[in-house]
Amino acid sequence: MDTHHHLLIRGGTIVDGTKAPRYDADVAIRDGRIVSIGELAGHSADRVIDATGRIVAPGFIDSHTHDDQAVLSQPELPFKVSQGVTTVVAGNCGISAAPLSADMELPMPLSLIDAPREARHGSFRSYFDALRARPSSVNVAALVGHSTLRAAVMAELDRPANAGEIAAMQAHVEEAMQAGAIGLSTGTFYPPAAKATTEEIIEVGRPLSARKALVVTHMRDEGDRVMEALDETFRIGRALDVPVVVSHHKVQNTRNHGRTKETLAFIQQSMQHQCIGLDCYPYTAGSTMIRTDRGMLDARILIASSVPHPEMAGRDLKDVAAEWGVSGKEAAERLQPGTAIYFMMDEADVQRILAFDDTMIGSDGIPVGEKPHPRLWGTFPRVLGHYCRDLGLFALETAIWKMTGLTARTFGLRERGSLQVGHHADVVIFDASKIRDAADYTHPTLPAQGIVTVIVNGAVTWHDGAHTGARAGQVITRADASPPSGSA
Ligand code: ZN
Ligand code: CU
């Protein structure tokens, strides 16, 4: 037996991502894989990391991201790696980086994460090839976005798709599946897909069925009609016979506060008949494009970014409106296009969803502008520090499972999400007594504290508060995808 390794993590306490109780062990890594876990006193390595007094866990998987372009344009992703995230699921809320062509005009929110026109990708194969040619610091699994498909094939988006358009969207879904996309995301909450019918989504999603690829959804309604939206989501899953994931589950607007008792009961009951997942970010404020409809202006709003008025980033909409001597609605309209932070949830609902057994942690971070929602930099340490350690909402083993093993299982990410011999060496080492999020609404880009070392596919990517420059991330494709052309 070979006892010399590339990397040896000594003396740490393993929380393995399966919810099993922690135990003390060393971890050996060679050629990007975990090769041994146990008492490895006689072993040696090119590099030894002392993890005494620290937790050694699987690298965190961010179940809900909009990092589609960031992995190409900001490939070190410090906002992810600094939190211990080693894998991102991109392409959420109906928005993906492909297929897009240079001549397309993109409406909000698609334009939020757009690339320069010449850097757009006409197919998923092209997108994944670009990522393989210039890897980022994290692994990427991606969904193809239904709103992006609508923009690609429809001349006007304010109506349901016709048969020809549905067929064209299906062909794109098929291409994405063959290239290795893990599923389809929808965002009927947003104008580009608000007029899509349930039937349109089912038909567009037909290529998912044979592969059991997922439908992941930013539902049509997370307010008054949240139960109807859940029902629609589950119906789509049953019609296609595929798993569904309810994105960033929440209930918004004061009059709906407390209704997670209803929604979670319905989710739990429906889980007995079909495969359902859900994710959540640990904050009572959401963030999305600036919009003035659907009661979005009812609560406190912070401007995160504005194309016409970048100087207003970080300001309260009320103050901007007062300064301009106009109504909140008028001010919001003047600030469009842009993004905002909406204080629209109830803390008890957030805690109830986080603590729900099957809830995955997902940041929904939007890597745009200087005043983003703090979830971009703080989500995972906030769950581990504030909610797990300080509030005792769940055990550390459960918290880590919600960001690793559960997520890998839900999205079908093989050989990741738990510390096991043979798995890819995605590992995070942190101090459980010190871990905390530092980003807040005033200083939203402060890196978290307590994350010591982050290893991606065996490469040390973050150590002692600094990025090492490593970019060892891989494209994670669905199991039955055809092998990429040219590479293994
Ligand atoms: Zn969303
Ligand atoms: Cu999202």
pLDDT digits (tens, 9 = 90+) for 306-363: 999 999 999 999 999 999 999 999 999 999 999 999 999 999 999 999 999 999 999 9
First to last CA, the chain: 28
Strand partners, 187: 218
460, β-bridge pairs:
455
What spacing in Å lies between the alpha carbon of 2 and ligand 2's midpoint?
A: 45
Ligand 2 is a single-atom ion; what residues have CB below 5 A from it?
92-93, 364
Return phi, psi of residue 246, to 5°.
-85, 115
Ligand nearest to the CA of 187: 1
Beta 276-280 vs 244-246: how paired, if at all? parallel
C-alpha 423 – ligand 1 centre gap (Å): 31
Give φ, ψ of 483 to 5 degrees. Answer: -60, 145
Q: How far apart are CA 233 and CA 474, in angstroms?
A: 30
Q: Give me the pLDDT at residue 86, please.
A: 98
Q: What is the mean pLDDT of residues 62-83?
A: 97
Give mean pLDDT, residues 139-155.
Answer: 97
CA distance 14 to 112: 39
- Ramachandran bin of 93, using left for φ above 0, alpha for ψ from -120 to 50, beta for the remaining angles: left
φ/ψ region of 289 (left if φ > 0, alpha if ψ in -120 to 50, else beta) reads beta
Q: CB–CB of 351/393 below 8 Å?
A: yes
Q: What is the dihedral of CA 433, 435, 436, 439, to 10 degrees?
A: 160
pLDDT digits (tens, 9 = 90+) for 382-416: 999 999 999 999 999 999 999 999 999 999 999 99
At residue 109, does pLDDT exceed 80? yes
Return the minimum-mean-pLDDT range out of 289-298, 309-318, 356-365, 440-449: 289-298
- More confident: 479 or 175: 175
Report the pLDDT value the prediction gives residue 115, as an integer from 0 to 100: 82
Query: Comparing 134-148, 155-169, 284-298, which segment has the lowest mean pLDDT?
Result: 284-298
CA distance 308 to 296: 20
CA of 92 to the centre of ligand 2 (A): 5
Is residue 484 predicted with pLDDT exceeding 70? no
Place of tokens 């407390």: 258
> For residue 1, is pLDDT > 80?
no
From CA 263, how far away is CA 343, in angstroms rounded?
Answer: 20
Ligand 2 center from residue 89 Cα (angstroms)? 11
**112: pLDDT confidence band, cut at 50, 70 and 90?**
confident
CA of 287 from ligand 1 middle (Å) equals 9
Q: CA 430, 433, 434, 438 torsion: positive or negative? A: positive
Q: What is the DSSP string of 46-60?
A: EEEEE-TTSEEEEPE
How confident is the model over 83-107, as a mean pLDDT? 96
Distance (Å) from CA 9 to ligand 1 centroid: 37
486 alpha carbon to ligand 2 midpoint, in Å? 33
Peptide bond into 484 cis (omega under 30): no
Kindly state the DSSP code that residue 125 receives in the 8-state scheme: H
pLDDT tops 70 at residue 213: yes
Enter the DSSP assignment of 389.
I
Q: Who wins on pLDDT, 482 or 184?
A: 184
The band of 488, judged by pLDDT with boundaries at 50, 70 and 90, is: very low
Which H/E stretch holds residue 170? Answer: helix 163-179
Q: What percent of the chain has pLDDT over 70?
A: 98
Chain position carrying tokens 């659907």? 294
- Residue with the two structure tokens 């055809």: 482
Q: Quick check: 95 and 112 in contact, CB under 8 A?
A: yes
φ, ψ of residue 100 to 5 degrees: the values are -135, 145
Give the dihedral of Cα atoms 19, 22, 28, 32; nearest 10 deg: 20
Q: State whether residue 415 is helix, strand or coil.
A: coil
**Cα-Cα-Cα-Cα dihedral of 98, 102, 107, 108, to 10°?**
60
Distance 95 CA to ligand 2 centre (A): 8
**Digit-coded pLDDT (tens) for 235-269:** 999 999 999 999 999 999 999 999 999 999 999 99
Q: Say what the pLDDT of residue 483 is.
A: 59
Find the 244 Cα to ligand 2 centroid distance in Å: 15
Rounded average pLDDT over 417-439: 98
Across residues 418-437, what is the average pLDDT?
A: 98
Q: How confident is the model at residue 162 (pLDDT cuts 50, 70, 90)?
A: very high
Q: What is the average pLDDT score of the chain?
A: 96
Which pLDDT score, from 0 to 100, does residue 293 have?
84
- Are 352 and 384 contacting, i.e. CB atoms less than 8 angstroms apart? no
How much distance in Å is there from the Cα of 186 to the middle of ligand 2?
A: 10
Q: Could you tell me the pTM of the whole model? A: 0.97
* Whether residue 224 has pLDDT greater than 90: yes
**In the predicted structure, residue 151 carries a pLDDT above the cut 60:** yes
